[in-house]
Amino acid sequence: MAEEVFSFSPQLRLKKPAEYKKVFAKPVKSSDQYFTLLAIRNNFDHPRLGLAIAKKNIRKAVQRNVIKRTVRENFRIKQHSLGNIDIVVLARREAVDAPLDLLRKSLERHWLKLVSRCDSCS
């Protein structure tokens, strides 16, 4: 078996507006007080991540960046167990004040939930 790589290379990202649109159209959802995650199956052999951290919800760029880094890092570590899904992460206002380890735990619950829910979606 090849060694697992834990990078966050460009092919693991949603880049084009059309790719985001596809996920927003008919997603499988997972929500809690910090995040809403939307996911759909993709035709690749790896997951892809998109971030939609709204300025309206999280005013300060520094705070948005911390949340984005936390999400990316968590995705990077978990990517090998996610399968072929596209995921868009939306952060809520409450994420700003939450300790980072709480955000990580929240994300890990979401990854598991989305993987099991996406097994039944087409």
Q: How far apart are the first and last CA of the chain?
A: 28
Along the 122 residues of the chain, how does pLDDT read in single tens digits? 344 567 778 888 999 999 999 999 989 999 999 999 999 999 989 999 999 999 999 999 999 999 999 999 999 999 888 989 999 999 999 999 999 999 999 999 999 999 888 876 65
Helix 61-78 vs helix 100-120: crossing angle, to nearest 10: 50
Query: Cα 92 vs. chain centroid, distance in angstroms?
Result: 13
Question: Looking at residue 107, what is its pLDDT?
Answer: 94
Instruction: State pTM to two decimals.
Output: 0.90
Question: Looking at residue 23, what is its pLDDT?
Answer: 93
Question: Looking at residue 56, what is its pLDDT?
Answer: 93
